[in-house]
Structure 1
Amino acid sequence: MVQRIAQLFGVGVIAGILVAALALPAVGGIGITARNVATGFMNMPSDLETPPPPQRSTIYDREGGVIAEIYDKNRELVDLEDMSPVMQDAIISIEDSGFYEHGGIDIGGTFRAALRTLAGSTQGGSSLTQQYVKNVLVESADNQDEQEEATETSIARKLRELRYALTLEKRMTKDEILQGYLNIAYFGDGAYGVESAAQHFFGKKAADLELSEAATLAGAVRYPYLYNMRLNTEDAQDRRDVVLDRMVQIGRITEEEAAEAKAADLEDQLDVSNPSNGCVPSDQPFFCDYVVQEIEKSERFGENETERARWLRTAGLEIHTTLDADMQEAAQDAVDKYVPRKNKSKKVAAEILIEPGTGEIRGMAQSRNYGPDESKLGETSINFTTDSDRGGSTGFQAGSTFKAFALAAALEQGKGFGTSYSGANDSSTTITGNRNCDGGTLAPWTLSNAGDTKGGGSSMVAGTKGSVNTYFAHLQRDVGLCNVIEMAENLGVKRADGQSFDNPHTQANNSFVLGSEEVSPLRVANAYATFASGGTYCEPQAITSIEDKQAGKTIEIESECERRISEDVAAGVSYLLQQTFKGGTTTGLGIGRPAAAKTGTTDGSAAAWFAGYTPNLAGSVFVGDPRGPQNYPLRGVNLGGRYYGTVYGATIPGPIWQETMREATEELPEKGFPSAPSKYRGGGSGAPDAEQTASGASVEGGVPDVVGQSEGQAVAALEEAGYVVSVSGTRVRSDEAEGTVAAVNPDPGTVLPEGATVNVFLSTGSSGRASPSADAGDGDGGGRGGSGDRGPDPGVGTHPVVPASEVPRREE
C-alpha cells in the first residue's frame, strides 16, 4: 500500500514527508515544520559521483604471466553478466526484495525507520541503492573527516544517503546500481566485491557460484565479521539458511531447491585462498619491486609520490612489463647455484639481463629472499642490481669492467688495436700527469700487475685479453681521464648513489679505468648493451604499457633510445672484448655463439664482476658482500658446497653469466658481430714499443685474426700478410675445436714489420689437457688503487699467449 501511494504522489514528495518524520525528533524543539523539512530535503545536494571503487592492480611479464598483485583492498570489478544469477537473486532477497519496484527508497522500511527513530533509535532499513550510496561515500573519502562523516550514526547521514539515492535512481539503471553494489560491498576476511569474495572463499569466479554459495555470501554483507565463513563457519551457515528461506518466501527459489542447498555442508564447500598482495610472495620479487619503484618515483604517473602510490594500489591497473620468464628463471637458477641464498658467509650474487637496442630488462635476479627483515640470513629488501633511487644499494666497485670505456674512448680518438706504450709491459708502473675534468693535476699513481710477471700489454688486443692494468693505466693517461669518464657517462654509467663521477665529494681519481667507482649491475649491463646494439643507447626499461581501466586509457611506454657512439667504435670494442675468449681472461666461459665479455675483480678481491653480451642480449653479474666488500672480501669462503681461496671475476661471476646466457639465448637467433673496422687494424698514437720499431716496413692491418681456423688456413693467411709462421708443437686447451688455432702470439691486430715471426698454437679442445706450462693467471682492479681478475689463461713457454696481469696495489 505504501509503495502504491508513493507511485501516485511521487517518490520525492513521499520521501520529503518521511524525512520530516525522521528529522522531527531532532528539530521539532525549534519549531521547524514537516513541510519545511521536506522542502529543505529536496533542495539538498544530490549529484553523487560514483567512481569505480578501489581494486587491485596486476603486474604481468611480457608473455602475460602474473608477477604480482598490488592493492589496498582485494577487489576485482566484473560486469553483472559475469555474476551468477542466483547471486543477484540472493542479495536482492535478503537486502532489498523490492529493489526493482521502488524508486531508490524502501518506503516501508523508511517508515519503520521513522518509527524506531521516534522511539530513540537511529537504526533502520536501507535500500540497496542507499547502501550503495553509503559505500561510495566511504570509498571516495579522501581524508579522515570525510571517512567519519560517511560512517557516522546520525540523522544527517541518513538524510544525505536518501537524497543521493533518489537522484542516483534517475541517473542509473537498476542493473547498473546492482552491479555497482555487488562490486563495492564488503564480504569479510579482506574480500571486497563479489568476484574477489567468490575467489577467496570458494576458489571460483562469481559467474560460477552455486545457490548455497551465493546465499552464504549474500548473508555475510550485513555483518561481515560475525558471518565470516572462514572463522565462524557455523554462524555463517545459519545465516545462509535464513537467506534461502527468504528466497523461498518471495518466490525466487522453490522449497525443494532451498532444502538441497541447506543440505550442503559449508565447511566442505570452502576453498579459502589467501590473496598474494605485493612483491614479497612473488616469484620475481626484486623485479616486482623495481616496477613499483618505477611507478612511484616517476612524475609521469602523478604529481607526488603519495598520489602515485595510491594510483598503483587502487586503480586496478594492468601493468605489462619486459620480464622474460624463461630468462629470469635461468638467471635465478644460476645465482642460487653458485651463491646460495642462505650462505653463512653472507655473500650475494646479483645479475641483470638487458636487450640491446631497446633497453628492456629481461631478467633481474639475486641470491636473496625478498623481505624487510635484514637480520634474517638470506633476506633483504635491497635490490642489489639497481641504483639507490630505485630501491637498490649505493653500488659496488666494478673492477676491470670499466676498461671497456677506456677502449671506447681510445677508438673514438682514432687509436688502433696496435696502440702500445713504453712501460705497459712492466709488472708495475707509475703514471703522472692525469687531470680531472676541472683541469686539476692528480698525484702520481703507482700500480702493479699480478706478482712480478710482466703484463704483456704489447697492444690494445693483448692488453684487453690479459686485462693488463699497466697497459690500461697508460691508455687512460694517453686518452685523458676526463674523456674516459665522459665516455662512461655517455654510455649511461653513473654512481649508484646518484653522485657524479667528478664532483667535490667523489672527485675523479687515477684508478677510474680500473673500476674504482661504485655502480650497479644495471648500469654496467646497459652500457655493454650499447656496444652490442652498435652504439645505440637506450634507457633501461621495465614497463611497456599500463592499462588504466578506471580512466579508460592505456599508457604506452616506448623505448627511449639515441645514438651515443658510432657503429665503428661499438664494433671495435666488441672485437676487442671477443678476444678475451681466445686465450684471455674469459677463456672457457664461452656460450656456443659469438659473445664479447670482460671480467672484473676489485682490489683485494673485495668484489668480483663479469659483464658480457651477444648481439641480442647483455648481462652483468656482481658477487660480493653487502655488509662492505672491503671489510668482508671474497677470500677463504665456502659457497655452493665449494671452498674458494680467492674469488675472481672468472671464478664465480663468469660461470653464473655463462650458465644464464646459454639458457637465456636458446630461443634467440644466433647473430654474429660486425667485422672490426679496418681503420683500427694499425697502431695508434701511443709511444711505439720495440716490436714496432724493428727493421723493415710495418705490415698494414697488423697480425690477421686466424683463431678458430684450421692450421693450413691460418698459415696461408699469415704468410700472405707477409709474416713468417712458427706452429708450436705444444697445444693449449681452449673453446676452439681440436686441431684449430687456439691463439697466436703476438695477438691479432699487433703491427709487426714484414718478415716478423708469428707463433701459432693449436687447440686440444675444451675437454683436452693443455701443456703444464699453460697456466698463467691475471688480475684486474677496483679500489681507489686498482683492481684485479683472474682467469684460466693458457701460456706457452717464454711466449705466453695471455701474460699474467694484475693484482694492483692500493693508491697511497
Structure 2
Amino acid sequence: MLQKIGQLVGVGVIAGVLVAALALPAVGGLGITARNVATGFLNMPSELETPPPPQRSVIYDRNGETIAEIFDQNRELVELDDMAPVMREAMIAIEDSRFYEHGGIDISGTFRAALRTLSGSTQGGSSLTQQYVKNVLIESATSQAEQEAARETSIARKVRELRFAIALEQRVGKDDILEGYLNIAYFGDGAYGVESAAQHFFGVSAAELNLEQSAALAGAVRYPYLYNLRLNPDDGKERRDVVLDRMAQTGAISEEEAEEAKAKDLELDVSTPSNGCMPSDQPYFCDYVVQEIEKNEQFGKNETERARWLRTAGLKIHTTLDVDMQEAAQDAVDKWVPRKNESRKVAAEVLIEPGTGEIRGMAQSRNYGPDESKLGETSINFSTDSDRGGSTGFQAGSTFKAITLAAALEQGKGFGTSFSSGNSTTITGQRNCDGGVLAPWPVKNAGDTKGGTSNNMISGTKGSVNTYFAQLQKSVGLCNVIEMAEKLGIQRADGQSFDNPRTQGNNSFTLGSEEVSPMAVANAYATFASGGVYCKPQAITSIEDQQSGKTIELDSDCERVIDEDVANGVSYLLSQTFKGGTTTGLEIGRPAAAKTGTTDGSAAAWFAGYTPNLASAVFVGDPRGPQNYPLRNVTIGDRSYGAVYGATIPGPIWKETMSKAVKDLPEEKFPAPPGKFGSRSEPSPSRDDDDADTTPASNATGEGGVPNVLGQQESAAVRALEDAGYSVSVSNTRIRSTHPEGTVAAVNPDPGTSLPPGATVNVFLSNGGGAGRATTVPDGHVWRPGTGPVLAPAMTRFTGHDAP
C-alpha cells in the first residue's frame, strides 16, 4: 500500500515522511531540527536542473583522428539504448529493485536511511532517483559550500534529495532517470559513467557488457574504492556475486545463470584513455590548442572558467593539423637535432598554409614533460610566443631581410636598386620612428669578401649581403621596415611591440636582431606566398559543445596587408637564392622561395621558405640562451660542427620536411615578377659573402672556398676560417717559411679549396726560419714545394655533413 502511495506521489507520502521526521531528535551539530525540516519542506525548491555531467573533451586532427583527450572526469555519455539490458537489470537489482514501482521515494528504504543517517551512516535506503539527485547536486556544485551541502551527513540533505526526487519523477520519465544515473555514477579507478567503466575495466562498450561484467560494475557503485575491480579484485568479485544473487532473487536471471556466472573470474582488461597532451604524438600542437582555448576570451569570462569548460564540456575540437606533414617535420627535426643531444640544442619547426593561416604542423626536438632538468624534456613550446606556452623568442637573423625587401618594393624601389657593398661599411644618420638620429652603425660581412663590389636586390639577396641590406634599410627608413614587420604579423615573442627600437633605436633590425618565434616568421613568409594576404595563425576550425549542443565555427581571419605586386616581387627575389645563392642545394623539386638566417657568432640558425601553398620556418639554437651557448664547435647527435649556419642544419630540416609535406599538394608556380620593378639582371658575376649564411653555400658550389690566410696572425686567421664556416686545427709544430714568425705559413687544404660546411682546416704557423725545407715533417703529413708540410690528402677530416 505504501509503495502504491509512493507511486502516486500523494500528499500522504509527504505527510508520512514529515511525521516521521518530526518524531526524530534534533541534529545537534548543524542546529537543524526535524521540526524545522518539516516546516520548510513544502517551501523548498523542487525544480532540479540536470545538466549533462562532466565528460572528456577530444582534440581531432583535420582528418578526424584523435590527437588527445582532456578531462577532469573520464566519462563518455551514451543513451540508454546503447547500454546492455543486463547492465540496467543488474543496477536496478542491487540499488533499487522497486525502481519502476515507486514515485521517487522507496518508503521503507527511506525510513531505514533516515535512521541510519542520524547514527552517522549513509548506508542504504535511497532510491535510484535520490542517488541520481545527489550526484547531480555534487557535479553541478560551483562552490565549496555547495559541494559540502551535497555531501553532508544530515537529515536536511536527505530531505532536500527527497523533495527534488519527487519533483523530478513528476517531470522526467523513469528511463531518462536511469540513463542519467548510469552516465553520472562513479565506478571507481577514475571511470565515470557506464561507458567509460566498461571500456576501462573490460575493453568493451556499454552495449557489449555481459552478465558477469554488468554485475561487477553494478556492485562497485556503492563503494567504488572498496570494490575497485583493479586494485581490490577479490573484494570486487565477492561484491559481484552478491549482485548476481540479488538478480536471481528479483527474477532478472535464474539461479542457474547466477551460479554459472559466479564460477567465472573477473577477466579484467584494464585500459585508461590518455589524459592531456603529454601522452599525445603531437604534444606541442595539442598544448597550443589548449592555450588557444584557455587564453581566448571568446570561450569564457576568465581563464579558470575556460579551463573548466575545456575539461568538462565534452568538447569535440576539430583542428588544422595534417598528420602527414606533422610527421615529416617531426622526423626531420629529430634526425638533425636528436631530442637528447648532449649539447642541449633544440630544433623547432612550424608549417602554415598560405591564404588561410591554418597550422599544418608544429614540431620540436624535445619530449613533452614538466621536468626541465631532464635531458631532452620540456613543456615550453619553442615554436610559438610566450603567451601561448612558448618562449620569449630568438633572434631571427637574415630571415628578416625579406621584410626589408618588402618595404623597399612597397616604396617603389626596383630590383636594380644598388649600393656599393664591400666587406664593411658604417651606417650613419639612420633615424628611429621618433625622428631621432641613431648612433653610427659599423656593419661587416664575413669571410674573404671583395670590397667595393656593387650589389642590387637580386645579388644582395642571393648573397645575403649585410652591407647591402644595411644601406637598403637606411634608404627605406628604419621605421618603415618596422611597420612592414608589423603588417606581416611579426611581433616580439615576449609580447612586447617594437617600441624599444622606436624609442631607442635598433640599427640592426634588418639583420634579425629581434627575438621572435618560428610561428611568426613562418606566417610572415606565408603572407608573401599568398600574394600579400595576411591570415592570423589558426589551429582550431570548430568546437562542438556537447553540453550546450552548440557548434562554434572558427573561420580564417585574413586581410590584405601588402600589395600583390610587392608580395610577388619578394617571392621572386627569395626564389633566386636557389640559383647560386645561400639556399643552393636545398631545392625540393618544385618552385620555392627561401632565406637562410644566422645570428652573430652562430648564436642561432634559421631557415624560412615556402611554395605557393605551404610555408615553413625552422629554428635551431640553445634554449638556455643562444648567445651564451652558440652553435660553434658543437657536436649534435653524431655530427660535429665548427659553426652552424642557416644552410647547415635548418636548411636540411626544411628541405626534408617540405619535400614530403608538399607531395600531395598540387605543384604551383609563383606569378611572374612584376615588370614595374625593372631589370632582373645582377650587377656582376661575383658576390659578397653574407652574415655567415653565404660562405657555406658558396663553398658547396665551388665558389670562394678556403680563405687565403697565409701571412696573417694566428687569431685573425682562425677567425677568418671560422667565419667562413670551417673548424680550425692549429698544429703545435711550426715550420720554416718566408712569413714572419707566428704568422700562418701554410694551410691544408690549400686556399681556394671547396669544402663542405664544418670541415676542418689545418693551420701551420711559421718559425721565422726563412725559405727552405723544414727540418722535420710531422707525422701524417707530406712536403709540398713552396708550402711546406701539409696533412696527407687521405687523412683530411670532415667533421660536418656533406654540403647540401
Paired residue for 2:523? 526
Going from structure 1 to structure 2, the CA distance change for 1:36 and 1:60 (only over 3 Å counts) comes to closer
Paired residue for 1:722? none
User: 1:141: how far off?
Assistant: 0.9
Going from structure 1 to structure 2, the CA distance change for 1:231 and 1:675 (only over 3 Å counts) comes to same
The letter for the 2-side match of 1:745 is: P
Paired residue for 1:784? none
Q: Does 1:467 align with 2:464?
A: yes
Paired residue for 2:745? none
CA contact (8 A) 2:458 2:682 kept: no
C-alpha distance in 2 between matches for 1:637 and 1:674: 41
Map Cα deviations across residues 651-710 of structure 1 (whole Å, 9 max, x no partner). Answer: 00000000000010111000000000111124xxxxxxxxxxxxxxxxxx6579xxxxxx
The letter for the 2-side match of 1:206 is: A
Gaps (5+ residues) in structure 2?
688-696, 708-721, 727-750, 755-804
Paired residue for 1:734? none
User: 1:261: how far off?
Assistant: 1.7
Q: Given the alignment, which residue of 642, 657, 681 partners 2:639?
A: 642
C-alpha distance in 1 between matches for 2:51 and 2:217: 24
CA contact (8 A) 2:434 2:503 kept: no
Percent identity at matched positions? 75
Going from structure 1 to structure 2, the CA distance change for 1:439 and 1:776 (only over 3 Å counts) comes to farther
C-alpha distance in 2 between matches for 1:366 and 1:139: 39
Residue aligned with 2:640, SS: strand
The letter for the 2-side match of 1:397 is: Q
The letter for the 2-side match of 1:410 is: A
CA contact (8 A) 2:433 2:502 kept: no
Going from structure 1 to structure 2, the CA distance change for 1:667 and 1:74 (only over 3 Å counts) comes to same
The letter for the 2-side match of 1:356 is: P
Residue aligned with 1:182, SS: helix
Paired residue for 1:613? 610
Paired residue for 1:431? 427
C-alpha distance in 1 between matches for 2:308 and 2:17: 40
User: 1:122: how far off?
Assistant: 6.1
CA contact (8 A) 1:515 1:602 kept: yes
User: 1:503: how far off?
Assistant: 3.0
C-alpha distance in 2 between matches for 1:305 and 1:374: 25
Matches within 5 A, 1:757-776: 775=705
Residue aligned with 2:559, SS: strand
Residue aligned with 1:633, SS: coil
Choose 539-548 or 455-464, whichever is displaced more. Answer: 455-464
CA contact (8 A) 1:649 1:789 kept: no
Paired residue for 2:731? none
C-alpha distance in 2 between matches for 1:217 and 1:89: 12
User: 1:452: how far off?
Assistant: 3.8
Paired residue for 1:214? 214
User: 1:596: how far off?
Assistant: 0.2
Going from structure 1 to structure 2, the CA distance change for 1:256 and 1:158 (only over 3 Å counts) comes to same
Choose 505-514 or 633-642, whichever is displaced more. Answer: 505-514
Paired residue for 1:544? 541
CA contact (8 A) 1:535 1:564 kept: yes
User: 1:86: how far off?
Assistant: 0.7
Q: Does 1:308 align with 2:248?
A: no
Q: How many residues align?
A: 701
Paired residue for 2:332? 334
C-alpha distance in 2 between matches for 1:790 and 1:488: 30
Q: Does 1:486 align with 2:483?
A: yes
User: 1:391: how far off?
Assistant: 0.5
Matches within 5 A, 1:120-159: 123-159=123-159
C-alpha distance in 2 between matches for 1:42 and 1:772: 95
C-alpha distance in 1 between matches for 2:280 and 2:639: 30
Residue aligned with 1:244, SS: helix
Choose 188-197 or 445-454, whichever is displaced more. Answer: 445-454
Q: Does 1:11 align with 2:7?
A: no
Residue aligned with 1:745, SS: coil
Residue aligned with 1:415, SS: coil
Residue aligned with 1:591, SS: coil
Structure with the bigger RCO (C-alpha within 8 Å, sep 6+) is: 1
User: 1:255: how far off?
Assistant: 2.0
C-alpha distance in 1 between matches for 2:701 and 2:497: 47
User: 1:501: how far off?
Assistant: 1.3
User: 1:204: how far off?
Assistant: 1.3
Residue aligned with 1:610, SS: strand
Paired residue for 2:58? 58
CA contact (8 A) 1:134 1:161 kept: yes
Residue aligned with 1:503, SS: helix
The letter for the 2-side match of 1:309 is: A
Paired residue for 1:572? 569
Going from structure 1 to structure 2, the CA distance change for 1:7 and 1:376 (only over 3 Å counts) comes to closer
Q: Given the alignment, which residue of 654, 676, 680 partners 1:657?
A: 654
Q: Does 1:745 align with 2:685?
A: yes
Residue aligned with 2:100, SS: coil
Paired residue for 1:241? 241
CA contact (8 A) 1:360 1:541 kept: yes
C-alpha distance in 2 between matches for 1:41 and 1:68: 47
Paired residue for 2:398? 400
Q: Does 1:415 align with 2:413?
A: yes
The letter for the 2-side match of 1:635 is: R
Residue aligned with 1:600, SS: strand
Paired residue for 1:698? none
Q: Does 1:633 align with 2:630?
A: yes
Going from structure 1 to structure 2, the CA distance change for 1:3 and 1:225 (only over 3 Å counts) comes to same
Q: Does 1:441 align with 2:440?
A: no
Going from structure 1 to structure 2, the CA distance change for 1:770 and 1:476 (only over 3 Å counts) comes to closer
C-alpha distance in 2 between matches for 1:252 and 1:500: 71
C-alpha distance in 1 between matches for 2:232 and 2:591: 64
User: 1:12: how far off?
Assistant: 3.7
User: 1:25: how far off?
Assistant: 1.6
Choose 600-609 or 451-460, whichever is displaced more. Answer: 451-460
Q: Given the alignment, which residue of 287, 290, 301 partners 2:288?
A: 290
Paired residue for 2:20? 21
Q: Does 1:512 align with 2:509?
A: yes
Going from structure 1 to structure 2, the CA distance change for 1:601 and 1:36 (only over 3 Å counts) comes to closer
Going from structure 1 to structure 2, the CA distance change for 1:506 and 1:176 (only over 3 Å counts) comes to farther
Going from structure 1 to structure 2, the CA distance change for 1:525 and 1:34 (only over 3 Å counts) comes to closer
Paired residue for 2:69? 69
C-alpha distance in 1 between matches for 2:669 and 2:630: 37
User: 1:45: how far off?
Assistant: 1.4
Paired residue for 1:499? 496
Q: Over aligned residues, Cα RMSD in angstroms?
A: 2.5
Residue aligned with 2:253, SS: coil
Q: Does 1:271 align with 2:211?
A: no
CA contact (8 A) 1:650 1:789 kept: no
